[in-house]
Each structure stands twice: as structure tokens, then as C-alpha cells.
Chain A
Amino acid sequence: MLTACHECDLLQREPILPPGGVACCRRCNAVLYRDIPDSIDRGLAYALGAAILFIVANIFPIVGLEVQGTLNATSLYGAVEKIWDNDMKGVAALVFATTILIPAVEISLMLYVLLPLKFGRLPGELASILRIVQSVRPWSMTQVFILGVLVALVKLAHLAHVVPGVALWAFGGLIVLLTAAGSTFNMHEMWNLVTEKNERF
């Protein structure tokens, strides 16, 4: 099988990989594809965990500020609403998209693909779904968001008593599981499934 590097266009043979192996471009060293052992089982576990943490992270408050006995806490969506009300609709939409909408789409599409595969069935419209997963991924920014929360907390620590909320811990776990799910999800293998399916018809 021939393949070409997506970064430098070099034509080369596709090597057969040992378990856990990585195929790199001969010329520019870009990762062409990987062999990921048990990618469906492990990916499903990570994605399910991520889905649960995502829900927890969005229901509960992230942080609260305690001043003179009153607690002012905010959830992620609450923060987006505040920004929207401050007439910064573009910023609100950007925060909503990068921290809520796109991670949600990413997690649910991964589950949509992995669940049927786990039971030996091919999910419908696999090619379109894979393309959506690929194109939304760069816009998922949960890790950056958490760093932003931490910076905000340090800034406020001088002003008032800061109370970390349940969602903060959930977000911490979510970053780990989302990254793990993303790197376990084997795009190359999935595209080969699409090829196999196309060849059958």
C-alpha cells in the first residue's frame, strides 16, 4: 500500500506496524499513523469517563467567591451568560463554543463511533462523522480554560476568600480523559474501516 505524507507530500510505502508502533514520514518525520492496542475498548472507557465528567463539570459551580458571608459562585455556562449580558456577545460565543459546544460534540461523536464498533457494528455515516471530529478538534480548548481559571483564582485570592467548586476538579479530570480519548481514537484505523465498507458495495 502506498501513502503520501500529509505534510511534505512524499510518496512512500505503508509499513506494517508492531503493536503500539508509529509510522513516521521518511523525509519530514511527521506521524503518518499509529498502531494503538485495544483502541476501541480503551477509547470507549476514556470517552465514557469524559462524558460523565463533562456533565458534572457543567452542572456544578467552578469557583465561588466568599465576601462578608455571602457566596457568589459561577458555573461555566453562568460565566458565558454574564459575558453575554455585558454586551460582549462575540466573546461569549467564542467561550461557549471552545469550552462547552465543541468538547460536547467531540465526546458524543466519539461515543457514537465507538459504541457500535464495540458490538461489532459499523456506525452510519462514518466518513462524515470522522471528518467532523477532525475539523472540530483544534477548537476544543478545555486545557487552556482550566489554566485561565487558575490564573483568575490567584488574582482573586488577594481580594476575597476563594472557594473551589466541584466542577473545577471535574474539569481537571476531564482534561486528562479527553486527551487520553483523543490519542486513543485511531483515525487511520477508522478510515480503513470506511475503505473496507466502500469496497464491499
Chain B
Amino acid sequence: MSDSDVTASQMGLCVCHGCGGLSELLPGIHEMRCRRCGAALHLRKPNSIARTWAYLIAAYIMYVPANVLPIMHTGSMFGAQSDTIMSGVAYLWHSGSWHLALVVFIASVLVPLVKMLCLTLLLISVQRGWTERALERTKLYRILEFIGPWSMLDVYVVTILVALVQLKSLATIQPGPAAAAFGAVVVLTMFAAMAFDPRLLWEPKEAHHV
């Protein structure tokens, strides 16, 4: 950090998380509100680390049933079959659509896992008070925010399949419990990323206002 680098919090200023405006934080006053947009003012997102951990751990837990339980059941005159995410990927791979197999694998398996691992790393780095490589860690956080929604892919695939394949005697598809678990993983990881405050990446541990 160069000498000219002064943060808003060092000057007793606070960026509103609603509108981005600067406000002066007056000591001794609780529950200050932004004059411009009326949002509650906080120096940092409140309880950022604890809340991010909570969402993250819940997401890790839901990731297990999302991958182990079947995401859909297919019933046809050739018998019944249950598919997990991975068996769906394998099916796409063997049927010659290797590019789609790759898309589904990346979006449904890799993206949520990488996202959770990276958030874990960021949380630990903040709790340990690392100050080096703050720029790289901030970039990592930006990538996490961007890729968040893409793991919803399989939930949508199942939705369309269930709606279309209702051919009575020929074949029917029903959603499996993993669809719900998957939706939960996506929502929980998005909440976790939103609860995390990237400004903590730039501060030594003593300066944390959480």
C-alpha cells in the first residue's frame, strides 16, 4: 500500500451498499441511514465472515445429495431408470454430444465446487489476516460472482424434460430429489458470495470492522 492510499473507513467515511454514495459516519449513533437512498449504513457488510461461512457450509452439505441422489426418473416401456448428474453427463458423452457433456459437467459439477472452494480460501485468507495478493483475491471474488447463476443449468434441463416427456405409455420423466438440492446449492452459494465483503481482503486483521 503506498502512502497516498487512504481508505474511506480510515477517514470515518462509509460507502453506502445501496447507492455507492459516501456518508460520514458519526460516532455514537446507531442505525445511520444513507441520506441519498435510505439504506442502513455499515462500514462493512455486517457479520460478513460468519454469514458467509454459514451459507457456505450449508451449500457444502447440499452439494452431497445434489450429486449422489437422482436428478430425474425416466419411466418407459423398456423399464425405469434413475439418473444422477454424473450419469447424465456420461450419457451425453457416450451419445456423441461430448461438447454438451462438457458444458453440463462444468456448469453443474465443477462450477459449484470451485466456487465453494474459492470462497473457503477467501474466508480463510481474511481470517488469517493476509494482506498480500489482495488484487488477485479480489479478481477471484469477481469471477465467483460472475459464474454463480450458471450452475442452475441442470435445474432448467430437468424442468423442460419433465414438461415435455409426458407421453403416457411411451415414456415419462419425473424430477428427482437432487433437483431441489441443486437449486439449494446455487441459491446458497449466491447468498454466500453476496454476504462476503471484498473490502476485507485489503485490510490487515486489526482493522476489520466486522
A residues in contact (CB < 8 Å) with B:
2-11, 27-30, 62-65, 67-68, 72, 74, 78-80, 82-83, 86, 88, 90-91, 94-95, 98-99, 127-128, 130-131, 134, 138-139, 141, 143-145, 147-152, 154-156, 158-160, 187-188, 191, 194-195, 198
Contact = CB atoms under 8 A, between A and B. Distances in A.
A9 B160 contact: no
Given A9-B15, A11-B6, A155-B92, 19 more contacts: A7-B138, A7-B141, A7-B199, A8-B199, A9-B8, A27-B5, A27-B135, A28-B134, A29-B135, A65-B165, A78-B163, A98-B149, A127-B19, A130-B37, A145-B156, A148-B155, A152-B164, A156-B161, A160-B167
20 contacts: A4-B8, A7-B138, A9-B9, A10-B7, A10-B8, A27-B5, A27-B135, A68-B170, A82-B159, A82-B162, A90-B184, A91-B179, A144-B107, A144-B150, A148-B159, A151-B153, A152-B161, A155-B161, A195-B21, A198-B36
Contact of B18 (A63, A79, A94, A131): A131
A contacts with B: majority SS: helix
Contacts of B164: 63-65, 72, 74, 152, 156
B103 A147 contact: yes
B207 to A, nearest CB: 10
B contacts with A: majority SS: helix
B187 A94 contact: yes
Contacts of A10: 5-8, 202
B17 A154 contact: no
Interface of B: 5-11, 13, 15, 17-22, 35-39, 88, 91-92, 95, 97, 100, 103-104, 107, 134-135, 138, 141-142, 145, 148-150, 152-167, 170-171, 174-175, 179-180, 183-184, 187, 190, 194, 198-199, 201-203
Contacts of A94: 155, 183, 187
A141 B107 CA distance: 14
Given A148-B153, A154-B92, A7 B7 contact: no
Given A11-B6, A138-B148, A151 B21 contact: no
Nearest to B187: A94
Contacts of A5: 15
Q: Give the 4 A-B CB pairs with smallest separation, nearest first.
A: A148-B156, A4-B8, A79-B163, A152-B160
A30 B145 CA distance: 13
B156 A144 contact: yes
B17 to A, nearest CB: 7
Contact of B22 (A3, A78, A79): A3
Contact of A82 (B166, B198, B201): B166
A67 B179 CA distance: 26
A67 B167 contact: yes
A86 B166 CA distance: 12
A72 B159 contact: no
A79 B150 contact: no
A144 B153 CA distance: 6
Contacts of B184: 90
